[in-house]
Structure 1
Amino acid sequence: MTYRRLLAEFLGTGLLVTVVVGSGIAAQRLSPDDVGLQLLENSTATVLGLTVLILLFGPVSGAHFNPVVSVADWWLGRGSGTGLAGGELAAYVVAQCAGGIGGAVLANAMFAVDAGMASTERTGGGLLLGEVVATAGLVLLIFALARTGRGALAAPAVGAYIGAAYWFTSSTSFANPAVTVGRMFTDTFAGIAASSAPAFVGAQLVGAAVGVLLVLVLYPSAGRAADAVVVPHPEPTELRA
Protein backbone atom coordinates (compact mmCIF):
# COMPACT_ATOMS: atom_id res chain seq x y z
CA MET A 1 0.00 0.00 0.00
CA THR A 2 1.52 3.29 -1.09
CA TYR A 3 0.81 6.73 0.24
CA ARG A 4 -0.31 7.74 -3.25
CA ARG A 5 -3.25 5.36 -3.20
CA LEU A 6 -4.35 6.53 0.22
CA LEU A 7 -3.91 10.16 -0.76
CA ALA A 8 -6.00 9.56 -3.90
CA GLU A 9 -8.78 8.00 -1.82
CA PHE A 10 -8.62 10.82 0.73
CA LEU A 11 -8.71 13.55 -1.90
CA GLY A 12 -11.25 11.83 -4.11
CA THR A 13 -13.72 11.16 -1.31
CA GLY A 14 -13.15 14.58 0.17
CA LEU A 15 -13.73 16.39 -3.10
CA LEU A 16 -16.81 14.26 -3.77
CA VAL A 17 -18.31 15.42 -0.47
CA THR A 18 -17.26 18.98 -1.28
CA VAL A 19 -19.15 18.71 -4.58
CA VAL A 20 -22.25 17.28 -2.90
CA VAL A 21 -22.30 19.72 0.01
CA GLY A 22 -21.08 22.78 -1.91
CA SER A 23 -23.59 22.35 -4.72
CA GLY A 24 -26.30 21.76 -2.13
CA ILE A 25 -25.48 25.05 -0.43
CA ALA A 26 -25.37 26.88 -3.76
CA ALA A 27 -28.66 25.32 -4.85
CA GLN A 28 -30.36 26.31 -1.61
CA ARG A 29 -29.22 29.90 -2.05
CA LEU A 30 -30.01 30.13 -5.76
CA SER A 31 -33.43 28.47 -5.57
CA PRO A 32 -34.62 29.01 -1.99
CA ASP A 33 -38.28 28.36 -2.74
CA ASP A 34 -38.02 25.33 -5.04
CA VAL A 35 -36.78 22.10 -3.46
CA GLY A 36 -37.18 20.20 -6.72
CA LEU A 37 -34.90 22.62 -8.53
CA GLN A 38 -32.43 22.46 -5.63
CA LEU A 39 -32.25 18.68 -6.01
CA LEU A 40 -31.79 18.98 -9.77
CA GLU A 41 -28.90 21.40 -9.32
CA ASN A 42 -27.36 19.28 -6.59
CA SER A 43 -27.65 16.01 -8.54
CA THR A 44 -26.31 17.52 -11.78
CA ALA A 45 -23.19 18.83 -10.04
CA THR A 46 -22.69 15.45 -8.35
CA VAL A 47 -22.93 13.52 -11.63
CA LEU A 48 -20.35 15.75 -13.29
CA GLY A 49 -18.07 15.98 -10.27
CA LEU A 50 -18.05 12.24 -9.57
CA THR A 51 -17.29 11.45 -13.20
CA VAL A 52 -14.33 13.81 -13.22
CA LEU A 53 -12.99 12.54 -9.89
CA ILE A 54 -13.06 8.91 -11.06
CA LEU A 55 -11.15 9.90 -14.19
CA LEU A 56 -8.66 11.92 -12.13
CA PHE A 57 -7.88 9.50 -9.31
CA GLY A 58 -8.89 6.14 -10.77
CA PRO A 59 -5.49 5.33 -12.30
CA VAL A 60 -3.89 5.73 -8.86
CA SER A 61 -6.24 4.00 -6.42
CA GLY A 62 -9.10 2.62 -8.48
CA ALA A 63 -11.30 5.50 -7.29
CA HIS A 64 -13.33 3.56 -4.75
CA PHE A 65 -14.21 6.67 -2.69
CA ASN A 66 -16.62 4.42 -0.79
CA PRO A 67 -16.07 1.92 2.05
CA VAL A 68 -18.73 -0.48 0.79
CA VAL A 69 -17.02 -0.67 -2.60
CA SER A 70 -13.70 -1.36 -0.87
CA VAL A 71 -15.28 -4.02 1.37
CA ALA A 72 -16.91 -5.70 -1.64
CA ASP A 73 -13.60 -5.55 -3.50
CA TRP A 74 -11.82 -7.27 -0.60
CA TRP A 75 -14.55 -9.87 -0.10
CA LEU A 76 -14.92 -10.85 -3.75
CA GLY A 77 -11.20 -10.82 -4.49
CA ARG A 78 -9.94 -12.67 -1.45
CA GLY A 79 -10.37 -16.14 -2.99
CA SER A 80 -8.40 -15.35 -6.12
CA GLY A 81 -5.76 -13.15 -4.50
CA THR A 82 -6.98 -10.00 -6.23
CA GLY A 83 -8.37 -6.73 -4.92
CA LEU A 84 -7.54 -5.22 -1.54
CA ALA A 85 -5.83 -7.12 1.26
CA GLY A 86 -7.19 -6.77 4.79
CA GLY A 87 -4.72 -4.11 5.86
CA GLU A 88 -5.26 -2.17 2.65
CA LEU A 89 -9.02 -2.28 3.20
CA ALA A 90 -8.67 -0.75 6.67
CA ALA A 91 -6.37 1.98 5.35
CA TYR A 92 -8.74 2.77 2.47
CA VAL A 93 -11.74 3.08 4.81
CA VAL A 94 -9.89 5.41 7.19
CA ALA A 95 -8.70 7.59 4.29
CA GLN A 96 -12.20 7.72 2.80
CA CYS A 97 -13.93 8.67 6.05
CA ALA A 98 -11.30 11.29 6.89
CA GLY A 99 -11.66 12.69 3.39
CA GLY A 100 -15.43 12.83 3.70
CA ILE A 101 -15.24 14.91 6.87
CA GLY A 102 -12.60 17.18 5.36
CA GLY A 103 -14.69 17.68 2.25
CA ALA A 104 -17.68 18.88 4.25
CA VAL A 105 -15.52 21.25 6.27
CA LEU A 106 -14.04 22.65 3.06
CA ALA A 107 -17.48 23.27 1.54
CA ASN A 108 -18.63 25.00 4.71
CA ALA A 109 -15.55 27.23 4.64
CA MET A 110 -15.94 28.17 0.96
CA PHE A 111 -19.54 29.25 1.47
CA ALA A 112 -18.90 30.83 4.88
CA VAL A 113 -21.28 28.43 6.61
CA ASP A 114 -20.92 28.19 10.37
CA ALA A 115 -19.23 24.96 11.43
CA GLY A 116 -21.53 22.55 13.21
CA MET A 117 -23.21 19.20 13.07
CA ALA A 118 -26.16 18.68 10.76
CA SER A 119 -29.66 18.93 12.21
CA THR A 120 -31.58 17.37 9.30
CA GLU A 121 -33.19 14.14 10.47
CA ARG A 122 -33.51 11.48 7.77
CA THR A 123 -35.56 8.65 9.20
CA GLY A 124 -38.12 6.07 8.15
CA GLY A 125 -38.18 2.64 6.61
CA GLY A 126 -38.71 4.00 3.12
CA LEU A 127 -35.51 6.03 3.22
CA LEU A 128 -33.52 3.08 4.54
CA LEU A 129 -34.93 0.82 1.82
CA GLY A 130 -33.85 3.48 -0.68
CA GLU A 131 -30.29 3.22 0.65
CA VAL A 132 -30.34 -0.57 0.33
CA VAL A 133 -31.50 -0.31 -3.28
CA ALA A 134 -29.07 2.46 -4.21
CA THR A 135 -26.05 0.72 -2.68
CA ALA A 136 -26.87 -2.72 -4.09
CA GLY A 137 -27.22 -1.28 -7.58
CA LEU A 138 -23.96 0.61 -7.29
CA VAL A 139 -21.97 -2.48 -6.22
CA LEU A 140 -23.55 -4.59 -8.95
CA LEU A 141 -22.82 -1.98 -11.62
CA ILE A 142 -19.17 -1.55 -10.65
CA PHE A 143 -18.34 -5.25 -10.57
CA ALA A 144 -20.33 -6.02 -13.69
CA LEU A 145 -18.28 -3.45 -15.60
CA ALA A 146 -15.01 -4.74 -14.18
CA ARG A 147 -15.82 -8.40 -14.87
CA THR A 148 -16.84 -7.73 -18.47
CA GLY A 149 -13.77 -5.64 -19.27
CA ARG A 150 -15.66 -2.37 -19.47
CA GLY A 151 -13.96 -0.61 -16.58
CA ALA A 152 -13.16 2.32 -18.85
CA LEU A 153 -16.88 3.13 -18.80
CA ALA A 154 -17.03 3.24 -15.01
CA ALA A 155 -16.63 7.02 -14.70
CA PRO A 156 -19.66 8.00 -16.81
CA ALA A 157 -21.66 4.91 -15.81
CA VAL A 158 -21.21 5.37 -12.05
CA GLY A 159 -21.83 9.10 -12.35
CA ALA A 160 -25.01 8.47 -14.34
CA TYR A 161 -26.22 5.83 -11.89
CA ILE A 162 -25.76 8.06 -8.84
CA GLY A 163 -27.43 10.93 -10.67
CA ALA A 164 -30.43 8.77 -11.52
CA ALA A 165 -30.56 7.32 -8.01
CA TYR A 166 -30.89 10.85 -6.60
CA TRP A 167 -34.34 10.75 -8.15
CA PHE A 168 -35.54 7.15 -8.12
CA THR A 169 -34.65 6.44 -4.47
CA SER A 170 -36.45 7.97 -1.51
CA SER A 171 -33.16 8.73 0.26
CA THR A 172 -31.55 10.63 -2.66
CA SER A 173 -28.90 7.90 -2.81
CA PHE A 174 -26.14 8.53 -0.29
CA ALA A 175 -24.99 4.91 -0.96
CA ASN A 176 -21.67 5.59 0.77
CA PRO A 177 -20.76 5.42 4.48
CA ALA A 178 -17.86 7.88 4.09
CA VAL A 179 -20.11 10.42 2.38
CA THR A 180 -22.73 9.85 5.07
CA VAL A 181 -20.17 10.52 7.81
CA GLY A 182 -18.95 13.62 5.99
CA ARG A 183 -22.45 15.00 5.56
CA MET A 184 -22.94 14.91 9.32
CA PHE A 185 -20.55 17.89 9.49
CA THR A 186 -22.64 20.40 7.54
CA ASP A 187 -25.89 21.87 8.79
CA THR A 188 -27.12 22.60 5.26
CA PHE A 189 -29.33 21.19 2.48
CA ALA A 190 -27.06 18.15 2.08
CA GLY A 191 -26.57 17.37 5.76
CA ILE A 192 -27.71 14.38 7.81
CA ALA A 193 -28.12 14.42 11.57
CA ALA A 194 -25.73 12.24 13.55
CA SER A 195 -28.73 10.41 14.99
CA SER A 196 -29.82 9.35 11.48
CA ALA A 197 -26.40 8.36 10.16
CA PRO A 198 -25.97 4.93 11.84
CA ALA A 199 -29.19 3.61 10.31
CA PHE A 200 -28.14 4.93 6.90
CA VAL A 201 -24.75 3.24 7.19
CA GLY A 202 -26.40 0.02 8.30
CA ALA A 203 -28.74 0.11 5.30
CA GLN A 204 -25.76 0.74 3.02
CA LEU A 205 -23.97 -2.31 4.42
CA VAL A 206 -27.08 -4.40 3.82
CA GLY A 207 -27.24 -3.03 0.29
CA ALA A 208 -23.60 -3.90 -0.26
CA ALA A 209 -24.29 -7.49 0.86
CA VAL A 210 -27.23 -7.71 -1.53
CA GLY A 211 -25.09 -6.28 -4.33
CA VAL A 212 -22.30 -8.80 -3.69
CA LEU A 213 -24.82 -11.66 -3.70
CA LEU A 214 -26.21 -10.48 -7.04
CA VAL A 215 -22.68 -10.20 -8.43
CA LEU A 216 -21.91 -13.78 -7.37
CA VAL A 217 -25.09 -15.06 -9.00
CA LEU A 218 -24.79 -13.10 -12.24
CA TYR A 219 -20.98 -12.99 -12.55
CA PRO A 220 -19.60 -15.95 -10.54
CA SER A 221 -15.97 -15.19 -11.41
CA ALA A 222 -16.19 -11.45 -10.73
CA GLY A 223 -13.57 -11.73 -8.00
CA ARG A 224 -10.88 -12.24 -10.61
CA ALA A 225 -11.48 -8.68 -11.79
CA ALA A 226 -11.26 -7.09 -8.32
CA ASP A 227 -7.96 -5.42 -9.23
CA ALA A 228 -9.87 -3.41 -11.87
CA VAL A 229 -12.40 -1.88 -9.45
CA VAL A 230 -13.67 0.80 -9.85
CA VAL A 231 -11.40 1.39 -12.84
CA PRO A 232 -8.17 -0.41 -13.81
CA HIS A 233 -5.18 0.96 -11.93
CA PRO A 234 -1.58 -0.13 -12.48
CA GLU A 235 0.92 -1.13 -9.85
CA PRO A 236 2.56 1.85 -8.12
CA THR A 237 5.85 1.20 -9.94
CA GLU A 238 4.10 1.79 -13.24
CA LEU A 239 3.09 5.27 -12.10
CA ARG A 240 6.62 6.44 -11.44
CA ALA A 241 7.82 9.03 -13.87
Structure 2
Amino acid sequence: MIKLRRMSTSLCTGALLVAPLIGPGVAHATTEALRVDYESGTPDSGVAGLTTTHATAADASGVVRPGHGGSYAVQHKVTLGDPGYESNGAPRSESATDLLASGRFDVGDEQRYEFSLLLKDWQPYAPGDSTSGDIVFQGKYAGGNVPAFYLMTKRNEIAFRSPHLNRQSTVVADLRPYVNRWMEFRVDARWTTDGTGHFRVSVRLPGQSTHQPVVSYENVRTYQPVNPADHGYLKWGLYRPSQSLGNGDVPTRIVQHDDIRVLDLT
Protein backbone atom coordinates (compact mmCIF):
# COMPACT_ATOMS: atom_id res chain seq x y z
CA MET A 1 0.00 0.00 0.00
CA ILE A 2 1.41 3.36 -1.02
CA LYS A 3 -0.35 6.09 0.95
CA LEU A 4 -0.43 9.67 -0.23
CA ARG A 5 -0.42 12.40 2.37
CA ARG A 6 -2.95 15.19 2.02
CA MET A 7 -1.48 18.08 0.08
CA SER A 8 -2.40 20.49 -2.68
CA THR A 9 -2.31 18.31 -5.76
CA SER A 10 -3.55 17.84 -9.28
CA LEU A 11 -3.97 14.40 -10.83
CA CYS A 12 -2.57 13.89 -14.31
CA THR A 13 -2.48 10.51 -16.06
CA GLY A 14 -2.57 8.70 -12.72
CA ALA A 15 0.51 10.38 -11.20
CA LEU A 16 0.52 12.62 -8.18
CA LEU A 17 1.51 16.11 -9.30
CA VAL A 18 3.19 18.01 -6.49
CA ALA A 19 3.62 21.76 -6.21
CA PRO A 20 6.74 23.07 -8.01
CA LEU A 21 10.07 22.83 -6.21
CA ILE A 22 12.44 25.70 -6.57
CA GLY A 23 16.14 24.93 -6.94
CA PRO A 24 19.05 27.20 -7.81
CA GLY A 25 17.41 29.23 -10.55
CA VAL A 26 15.14 26.35 -11.62
CA ALA A 27 11.51 25.53 -10.91
CA HIS A 28 10.54 21.85 -11.04
CA ALA A 29 7.08 20.33 -11.44
CA THR A 30 7.37 17.01 -9.62
CA THR A 31 5.56 13.70 -9.30
CA GLU A 32 5.73 11.39 -6.33
CA ALA A 33 6.92 8.06 -7.68
CA LEU A 34 7.10 6.17 -4.38
CA ARG A 35 6.09 6.60 -0.75
CA VAL A 36 6.97 4.18 2.03
CA ASP A 37 5.34 5.32 5.29
CA TYR A 38 4.83 1.98 7.14
CA GLU A 39 1.22 2.81 7.99
CA SER A 40 0.33 -0.76 7.02
CA GLY A 41 2.10 -1.81 10.21
CA THR A 42 4.31 -4.27 8.28
CA PRO A 43 8.04 -4.19 7.40
CA ASP A 44 7.27 -3.99 3.67
CA SER A 45 4.89 -1.05 4.23
CA GLY A 46 2.37 -2.93 2.10
CA VAL A 47 4.44 -2.12 -1.00
CA ALA A 48 4.68 -5.20 -3.21
CA GLY A 49 8.32 -5.79 -4.12
CA LEU A 50 9.93 -3.75 -1.35
CA THR A 51 12.85 -5.82 -0.09
CA THR A 52 13.10 -6.19 3.68
CA THR A 53 16.11 -7.28 5.70
CA HIS A 54 18.04 -10.44 4.87
CA ALA A 55 19.42 -10.64 8.40
CA THR A 56 17.89 -13.57 10.28
CA ALA A 57 17.66 -12.27 13.86
CA ALA A 58 14.04 -11.80 14.92
CA ASP A 59 14.64 -8.17 15.90
CA ALA A 60 16.97 -7.25 13.03
CA SER A 61 14.03 -5.39 11.47
CA GLY A 62 10.41 -4.65 12.35
CA VAL A 63 7.83 -1.89 12.71
CA VAL A 64 7.66 0.23 15.85
CA ARG A 65 5.38 2.87 17.33
CA PRO A 66 5.18 5.79 16.95
CA GLY A 67 6.46 6.84 13.56
CA HIS A 68 7.57 10.22 12.36
CA GLY A 69 4.57 11.15 10.24
CA GLY A 70 2.10 8.56 11.51
CA SER A 71 1.61 5.52 13.69
CA TYR A 72 4.52 3.36 12.53
CA ALA A 73 8.16 3.45 11.46
CA VAL A 74 10.63 0.72 10.54
CA GLN A 75 13.48 -0.17 12.89
CA HIS A 76 16.76 -1.89 11.99
CA LYS A 77 19.21 -3.30 14.52
CA VAL A 78 22.75 -4.64 14.13
CA THR A 79 24.84 -6.34 16.82
CA LEU A 80 28.47 -6.86 15.88
CA GLY A 81 29.81 -10.40 16.08
CA ASP A 82 26.36 -12.01 15.87
CA PRO A 83 25.67 -13.76 12.51
CA GLY A 84 21.95 -13.16 12.99
CA TYR A 85 22.57 -9.51 12.19
CA GLU A 86 24.58 -10.14 9.04
CA SER A 87 23.56 -10.01 5.38
CA ASN A 88 25.84 -11.18 2.55
CA GLY A 89 28.57 -11.71 5.11
CA ALA A 90 28.53 -8.17 6.55
CA PRO A 91 26.96 -6.62 9.66
CA ARG A 92 23.86 -4.98 8.24
CA SER A 93 20.07 -4.94 8.23
CA GLU A 94 18.45 -2.90 5.45
CA SER A 95 15.39 -2.42 3.26
CA ALA A 96 15.78 -1.83 -0.50
CA THR A 97 13.93 -0.76 -3.65
CA ASP A 98 15.94 -2.92 -6.08
CA LEU A 99 12.82 -4.77 -7.27
CA LEU A 100 10.63 -1.67 -7.57
CA ALA A 101 10.60 0.25 -10.84
CA SER A 102 9.39 3.29 -8.88
CA GLY A 103 12.41 3.05 -6.58
CA ARG A 104 15.12 2.84 -9.26
CA PHE A 105 17.29 5.44 -11.00
CA ASP A 106 19.17 5.44 -14.30
CA VAL A 107 21.16 7.79 -16.52
CA GLY A 108 19.08 10.85 -17.39
CA ASP A 109 16.88 10.73 -14.29
CA GLU A 110 16.57 13.66 -11.94
CA GLN A 111 15.07 12.68 -8.61
CA ARG A 112 14.62 13.73 -5.00
CA TYR A 113 14.98 11.23 -2.16
CA GLU A 114 13.46 12.06 1.20
CA PHE A 115 13.55 10.18 4.49
CA SER A 116 13.25 10.71 8.22
CA LEU A 117 15.81 9.21 10.59
CA LEU A 118 15.88 8.54 14.33
CA LEU A 119 19.03 7.29 16.09
CA LYS A 120 17.59 5.08 18.82
CA ASP A 121 19.42 5.35 22.18
CA TRP A 122 22.55 6.17 20.19
CA GLN A 123 25.80 5.87 22.13
CA PRO A 124 27.96 8.86 21.21
CA TYR A 125 31.55 8.69 20.10
CA ALA A 126 34.17 8.89 22.81
CA PRO A 127 37.97 9.18 22.50
CA GLY A 128 39.41 5.75 21.79
CA ASP A 129 36.31 4.47 19.97
CA SER A 130 36.55 3.26 16.38
CA THR A 131 36.20 5.99 13.76
CA SER A 132 34.40 3.71 11.29
CA GLY A 133 31.05 5.06 10.13
CA ASP A 134 27.56 3.52 10.17
CA ILE A 135 25.69 3.89 6.84
CA VAL A 136 21.99 4.74 7.27
CA PHE A 137 20.85 5.58 3.70
CA GLN A 138 22.41 4.95 0.30
CA GLY A 139 21.93 5.12 -3.43
CA LYS A 140 23.34 1.85 -4.81
CA TYR A 141 24.04 0.45 -8.25
CA ALA A 142 22.93 -3.03 -9.24
CA GLY A 143 25.72 -5.52 -9.85
CA GLY A 144 27.73 -5.35 -6.65
CA ASN A 145 29.14 -1.85 -7.11
CA VAL A 146 30.08 0.61 -4.41
CA PRO A 147 27.32 3.11 -3.62
CA ALA A 148 26.83 6.22 -5.72
CA PHE A 149 26.26 8.10 -2.45
CA TYR A 150 25.43 7.45 1.17
CA LEU A 151 24.72 9.19 4.45
CA MET A 152 26.50 7.89 7.52
CA THR A 153 27.13 8.60 11.16
CA LYS A 154 30.83 9.14 11.81
CA ARG A 155 32.10 10.00 15.26
CA ASN A 156 29.40 12.42 16.47
CA GLU A 157 28.40 13.84 13.08
CA ILE A 158 26.36 12.79 10.06
CA ALA A 159 28.17 12.98 6.74
CA PHE A 160 27.28 12.69 3.06
CA ARG A 161 29.77 10.82 0.88
CA SER A 162 30.11 9.95 -2.80
CA PRO A 163 32.80 7.23 -3.05
CA HIS A 164 33.45 7.50 -6.77
CA LEU A 165 33.80 11.28 -6.51
CA ASN A 166 35.98 10.78 -3.42
CA ARG A 167 34.14 13.61 -1.71
CA GLN A 168 32.67 13.74 1.78
CA SER A 169 30.92 16.57 3.63
CA THR A 170 29.42 17.02 7.08
CA VAL A 171 25.66 17.59 6.98
CA VAL A 172 24.90 17.44 10.74
CA ALA A 173 27.83 18.78 12.75
CA ASP A 174 26.77 17.25 16.07
CA LEU A 175 24.16 14.50 16.22
CA ARG A 176 24.14 14.20 20.02
CA PRO A 177 21.34 16.77 20.65
CA TYR A 178 19.12 14.83 18.24
CA VAL A 179 19.43 11.29 19.60
CA ASN A 180 15.91 9.80 19.90
CA ARG A 181 14.52 12.70 17.86
CA TRP A 182 13.45 12.67 14.21
CA MET A 183 15.67 14.36 11.61
CA GLU A 184 14.60 14.87 7.99
CA PHE A 185 16.88 14.58 4.96
CA ARG A 186 16.64 15.31 1.24
CA VAL A 187 19.02 14.33 -1.53
CA ASP A 188 18.47 15.76 -5.02
CA ALA A 189 20.34 13.87 -7.72
CA ARG A 190 20.74 14.39 -11.45
CA TRP A 191 22.12 11.14 -12.83
CA THR A 192 24.61 11.67 -15.65
CA THR A 193 27.67 10.02 -17.16
CA ASP A 194 29.22 13.38 -18.01
CA GLY A 195 29.99 16.46 -15.92
CA THR A 196 26.48 17.89 -15.84
CA GLY A 197 25.11 16.03 -12.82
CA HIS A 198 24.68 17.10 -9.23
CA PHE A 199 24.04 15.96 -5.65
CA ARG A 200 22.27 18.46 -3.37
CA VAL A 201 21.58 17.68 0.28
CA SER A 202 19.19 19.47 2.63
CA VAL A 203 18.43 18.76 6.29
CA ARG A 204 15.59 19.71 8.62
CA LEU A 205 16.55 19.29 12.27
CA PRO A 206 14.16 19.46 15.25
CA GLY A 207 13.08 23.06 15.76
CA GLN A 208 13.66 24.07 12.14
CA SER A 209 10.62 25.03 10.05
CA THR A 210 12.10 24.11 6.66
CA HIS A 211 14.84 22.03 5.11
CA GLN A 212 18.19 23.85 5.04
CA PRO A 213 20.64 23.31 2.13
CA VAL A 214 23.90 21.96 3.56
CA VAL A 215 25.91 20.35 0.72
CA SER A 216 25.96 20.75 -3.06
CA TYR A 217 28.20 18.92 -5.55
CA GLU A 218 27.61 20.65 -8.88
CA ASN A 219 28.72 19.78 -12.42
CA VAL A 220 29.93 16.28 -11.57
CA ARG A 221 29.57 12.81 -13.06
CA THR A 222 27.10 11.13 -10.73
CA TYR A 223 26.48 7.79 -12.49
CA GLN A 224 29.67 5.77 -12.78
CA PRO A 225 29.45 2.15 -11.64
CA VAL A 226 32.65 0.14 -11.92
CA ASN A 227 30.79 -3.02 -12.97
CA PRO A 228 27.91 -3.06 -15.51
CA ALA A 229 24.70 -1.82 -13.90
CA ASP A 230 21.40 -1.29 -15.69
CA HIS A 231 19.91 0.69 -12.80
CA GLY A 232 20.45 2.06 -9.32
CA TYR A 233 18.22 1.80 -6.26
CA LEU A 234 17.86 2.93 -2.65
CA LYS A 235 18.66 1.20 0.64
CA TRP A 236 17.94 2.32 4.18
CA GLY A 237 18.58 0.77 7.55
CA LEU A 238 21.95 0.14 9.17
CA TYR A 239 25.18 -1.06 7.56
CA ARG A 240 28.34 -1.20 9.68
CA PRO A 241 31.22 -1.73 7.23
CA SER A 242 34.73 -2.44 8.53
CA GLN A 243 33.49 -2.68 12.11
CA SER A 244 34.08 -5.40 14.67
CA LEU A 245 34.07 -5.80 18.42
CA GLY A 246 37.84 -6.11 18.35
CA ASN A 247 38.12 -2.53 17.06
CA GLY A 248 36.34 -1.13 20.09
CA ASP A 249 33.10 -0.45 18.20
CA VAL A 250 29.77 -0.07 19.97
CA PRO A 251 28.29 -3.62 19.97
CA THR A 252 24.67 -2.73 19.14
CA ARG A 253 23.22 0.12 17.12
CA ILE A 254 19.54 0.78 16.31
CA VAL A 255 18.03 3.17 13.77
CA GLN A 256 14.49 4.01 12.71
CA HIS A 257 13.32 5.31 9.31
CA ASP A 258 10.00 6.70 8.14
CA ASP A 259 8.39 8.67 5.31
CA ILE A 260 10.72 7.56 2.53
CA ARG A 261 9.76 9.23 -0.73
CA VAL A 262 11.03 9.30 -4.30
CA LEU A 263 10.05 12.40 -6.30
CA ASP A 264 10.61 12.67 -10.03
CA LEU A 265 12.09 16.04 -10.95
CA THR A 266 12.73 15.21 -14.60
Instruction: Calculate the TM-score normalised by the size of structure 2.
Output: 0.27
**Which structure has the highest strand share of the two?**
2
Q: Which has the larger radius of gyration?
A: 2
